[in-house]
Amino acid sequence: MNIKTEPIQESDFEELISLFHEFAAFEKLPENMVNTAERMKREKEYIHGFVARNEDGIIVGYVNFFFAYYTWTGKSMYMDDLYVRQEYRGKGIGTLLINKVIDKAKEENCNGLRWQVSEWNHPAITFYKSLGAKINDIERNCDLIF
């Protein structure tokens, strides 16, 4: 399988919206996915990440991130989503995408990378632990959506 990774471009937004819906359904929260390609175009300066394309040029996975500053560790990167379509899982695409983010964080002199994983997503937890990630169950999400 020939997979190509590249930075997210504005031309990817329409296709990414479809994957965002898939991811929200996978997370059992489809009603929470309210983003649109139009909103992404208006807010494009905040969109950072990579897409994985198959040999036909179709996006089969994506990862997005943003920079953060944590008082205890300093400059860091936060990985918001890492998603690979069901039929492409187990083929190394998730590893390829997360390694792109890890490399980018190091290139940008970040002190670490943070992300979340759902407590029920045991394959992802196993995957992240294999990378050396420490997963805790101490903190909970607090979302205030406008």
**For tokens 């560790």, what's the residue?**
73
Calpha distance 93→46 (Å, rounded): 24
Q: Quick one: DSSP state of residue 132? A: T
Closest CA to 82 of 52, 47, 56, 109: 52
Q: Is 128 a catalytic residue?
A: yes
Structure tokens at 77: 């990167």
Catalytic residue among 62, 78, 83, 128: 128
Calpha distance 103→132 (Å, rounded): 15
Q: Is 51 helix (H, G, I), strand (E, B) or coil?
A: strand
Q: What are phi and psi of 57, to 5 degrees?
A: 85, 10
Catalytic residues: 128
